[in-house]
Amino acid sequence: MKNIVVVGSQWGDEGKGKIVDWLSEQADVVVRFQGGHNAGHTLVIDGVTYKLRLLPSGIVRKGKISIIGNGVVVDPWALLEEINEIKSKDVQVDTNNFIISESANLILPFHREMDEIREDTAGKGKIGTTRRGIGPAYEDKVGRRSIRVMDLRSEKNLDERLESVLLHHNAIRKGLGKKIFEKNQLKKDLLKIAPEILKFSQPVWLKINQFKRQKKKILFEGAQGVLLDVDHGTYPFVTSSNTVASSAATGTGCGPNSINYVLGITKAYTTRVGEGPFPTELKDNIGDLLGTRGKEFGTVTSRKRRCGWFDGVLVRQTIKISGIDGIALTKLDVLDELNEIKMCVQYELDGKKVDYLPAAVEDQLKIKPIYKTFPGWKTSTKGIKNIDELPDNAKNYIFSVEDFIETKISSVSTSPEREDTILIENPFEI
């Protein structure tokens, strides 16, 4: 038995969906452990595109159990909409293959509104959130006033919990000159969908313990990337949860000894959605080319992603922070047309050389990248499945990345299709 955690080693959007889908073929259970419907995975299987936001990637495979853990914040209406959407593509979603933690916290309409209000009034200080209510929902969780899945079981309990959370939110709304939020209609709306949510509800910590005893292979699926971690990312331009691999234990209710291997998904260049520091960002024709060839638009919001060269310093840093054992390098084929390719190998800050990203945002914004330049290969790598068939310059780039980040590259992706993968090391078979 081997249990694997998959995390993004950059700012998210590294192509986790395809890799998790490929790994889920070998897994028995696939679990989401943090984030919400702000992070999307796009899967392309047999020419059919699936865009998942809350549902774990394993849901598209028969015979797999998919779980939403307690560390995820769940918009119940968005979840039901996604379930109906995926069912329309002949994917099974029922109590036999899908579980939601009874302890998962709910995203409610006033969370979404608060997210929008803050972003619209923040001016230059805006974070660039997806406006899905993720941050405000996590705030209520930490503030011990949120509504959890289990609260939908009792109308009396739900009424009391709504009273508590709206006391907080309506005070803020009044202060901002916004209309107060009415409880009764929201309670009615929640009770209407409660049976559809509750039928999937179980104590996830107990189920995972059972699966471990049964020697099932568990795949823990992270959302976003390590650089968006609320503790270790480019704060305050981060998400509201911990995106590092250790959150798989906290966000599902299993011990850290349940994790046997951490796989970091890493794009062959770098992208970022929203605001915040981005040392290797390219605001030129090459940046536009990467965005066009890589189809760099958000799965959830369709926002255009910022593009730049591969930042080896940052990836080496996130590998250490998240305990990454191996790297799945994605979107190599996007670099095919370039005459030369650059990798950031050091930074300059106030005239001094530094080999890590400082924690202070003012320093992060001042950082200047120092590059190592590689010749491009100027030929298509799309669909190649054997590393020996890659052009020499492509292999040189891959091995140079591997040496610099001090971690083995276990696979290389050469197109969005699942089968177009160069497998060097299978995490489930080590």
What are the residues facing 261 on neighbouring strands? 4
Whether the ω angle into residue 375 lies within 30 degrees of 0, i.e. cis, is no
Q: What is the DSSP string of 301-323?
A: T-PBPEEE-EEHHHHHHHHHHHT
- Dist CA 208 CA 216 (whole Å): 9
Q: 78 in the Ramachandran plot: left (φ > 0), alpha (ψ -120 to 50) or beta? A: alpha
Active-site annotation holds for 41: yes
Smallest CA-to-CA distance from 97 within 54, 71, 52, 58 is with 58
- Dist CA 141 CA 145 (whole Å): 6
Tell me which of 21, 28, 37, 41 is the catalytic residue: 41
- Dist CA 167 CA 169 (whole Å): 6
- Dist CA 426 CA 421 (whole Å): 12
What are the residues facing 4 on neighbouring strands? 219, 261
Active-site annotation holds for 229: no
Residues of the chain by 3-state class (helix, strand, coil), percent to 5: 40, 20, 40
Kindly tell me the burial class for residue 77, based on how many C-beta atoms sit within 10 Å of its own C-beta (0-12, 13-18, 19 or more).
Answer: middle
Q: What are φ and ψ of residue 332, in 5° steps?
A: -60, -40
- Dist CA 189 CA 248 (whole Å): 32
Residue 383 DSSP label:
T
Q: How far is CA 26 from the centre of its chain?
A: 21
Smallest CA-to-CA distance from 107 within 71, 142, 132 is with 132
Q: Which residues are catalytic?
A: 13, 41
